[in-house]
Chains A and B, each alone.
Chain A
Amino acid sequence: MAFTRGFHGRRRSDVDPARLPPGQYETNAFPVLSAGPTPHTPLEEWSFAIGGALGEARSWTWEEFTALPSETVTADIHCVTKWSKLDTSWKGVPVDVLLAGTEPRGRFAVAWCDGGYTTNLPLEDLTGGKAWVAYQYGGEPLAPEHGGPARLLVPRLYFWKSAKWLRGLNLADQDEPGFWESYGYHNRGDPWKEQRYWSD
């Protein structure tokens, strides 16, 4: 390992190192990473759709969506730009609820969003209690710059996979790189394996 002369760093004694993936540091702020302007979709125009390689497509209006069974989730989130935020609290609909009774034919999904952003995930990372479509953060409606009205929440992957301004999931039998994934970011993005970029 190459040391940096004179660098001591500012360790924080109160962080359990087992909760920070390699190369991450804890922040209490909530930084923002987005590729373009923040979209502002009125709730009357908002809907959520599940389509692609599954039996029957489904969609919900905002009212229908927020009436679905929801969960409150406390999770640590890890951004590829190195910050981690511990014990964040969200409310949202489990993806398992959205997919209940459907028969996905493939193993992949693309999350698509207002503003044209997409991100790809293996279905396995979206099901089994690992992913939600969140519309509250810290007990408040999710702010637009953090992805409101609703965003994907997949805490076990780097946070760009938790797509903001989410409008739907498209299931697929083939993996297709999403937005950041086609601009040099890792296809899967597991923070514990430090899968940040293509070369990782």
Chain B
Amino acid sequence: MAEHLLTTTVTETTTTTPTTTIPPTLELISSAIGDSFVHYLNKLDQIPGGQIILRYIRSSYKNDPVRSLFELALFIFAVHYFLSSKRKENKADIVKFSKLEIDELIKDWEPEPLVEEVNNLEKWQLSAIPKIKGWNKSHMTLYNEASGNNISSNVVNLASYDFLDLNENDNVHKAAKAEISTAGVGACGPPNFYGTQDVHVRLEEDLARFLQTEQSILYGQDFVTAGSVIPAYLKRGDLCIVDSGVNLAIQKALIVSRCNIEWYEHNDVDHLESILEELKPTLDKEPVRRRFIVTEGLFLNTGDICNLPKIVELKNKFKYRLFLDETLSIGVLGANGRGVVEHYNLSRLEISITIGTFAGSFASSGGFCAGVKPMVQHQRINSNAYTFSASLPPYSAIASSQSIKEIMNERTAAGNSKLIAQLHERTSHLYSKLTSIKTTFFKVTSNSNSPIIHISLSHQYRKALGLPAFYGNTHFLNTGKQARSLNEFSKAYNIESFLLQKIIDGVLFESNILITRSKSILDHENLPVISPQLLIMVNSGASLKELDLLAQTLEIIVNKVCKSVSNEARLLSLEDELLKYTKY
């Protein structure tokens, strides 16, 4: 058999290069090698277990000894190369020291502190975190941590992700309490080791049905979900095309996965298309690898909504899978809260991987991932945060299931969720109020459907204050790699945030309404950070009147604060105030 194969190869060679005289010698050598190889292989036969190995080699290499031999040689070469290069490099890199010298070096070494102390300029940020006494709901009580005194009660809470006000829902409480009364609080084990309870499976089913997809899987915390899901599918050599405005969780996930990254301009589908076009010829020549387009539904950093219909069209045309982060859009967008997909009336089956949270609109805790069955099942063993962490508390699972029921329960005349309709009504009401304010100081920058309304200081005002166009660095954008060190403390970012805090405090004082601002940790952000923004999180528990009041007060306060801080010098003089800040 071996000879036969060989001769055919050789004749082929001869026909293509008729002038060569090598073939006979080659034939001789190869057949000699082939013979001895077969001879040794036959020896294998005699040792126990060798038969199996033999059969294995035969079947996998189709009885072609030369090929096997060649591959063996290649393998040995690779191992040798790998080991030798490593050894050489290491040796060259290590400086020889005597024991005494080492002791000396150790004595001289002055490490930096484990973490820097909080500097005086950023201390105010700790005081600026609101502290709630008791229930975190649509109307709540704030207090000062140091004195323990209440600052204000019955504060309208427009700073919470509990958009539907389900943290106040009796049915959700009842379900949670019933579960605690039968199963206690913690799950006490990871899902694969007796940590999966009936209520977890039920929630996975409920959620899959709600999202109209095949299956879903639960995570113990929202932030770890992206970081655990993405590296389960994207590895070195795989490719993803990513919106350059994605949140920190996704940034970190991409870094860990070590895949190749191409960035497209934030929410710019034309740019996305041109990148896909550009890559196509090279990709077509290579074997097919896993390819993803990665985007958020409702962006954390900007309040924009991605152009999903176009992205879906492109991903189908160019055969990419789509990873969609619905953390902020789930239970919020779409007539029944099914997220961006429903917002655009698309099918969930277009989305290969959806991730999201239960800690927002569903008033519970944990994260999730949903999609087709093979994708979800793969995570049950290969996703770090699923296999190496305890299950969600069972009461938490049932609270989420109940929240989904609550969303679907009451219907509008059109047959859609009443709860969601209420939220949408409030959102568009406040949005139109805020956008109709005539001012040169700020601009509403989020999408009109976003219940998180972003307000940025206007371009011209920021210019007058001498503030930079963006903060952070572009290293990750340019190289696809994490920067070597964290972003340094930015005085400008700090003081711009403080300016916004003054507005927040003013609004709270005037109208007893709490709004908030974006709180990106500049140190960790790998992508450029846009200017800090005021954030208003619309809440179903707030009345239209209260929202009107907010719009009125906000206009007054912003004008007041911004007029008093009209130039760079004034802005810098805020530092004195900032050093003394002890609000909450």
Bind each other: no
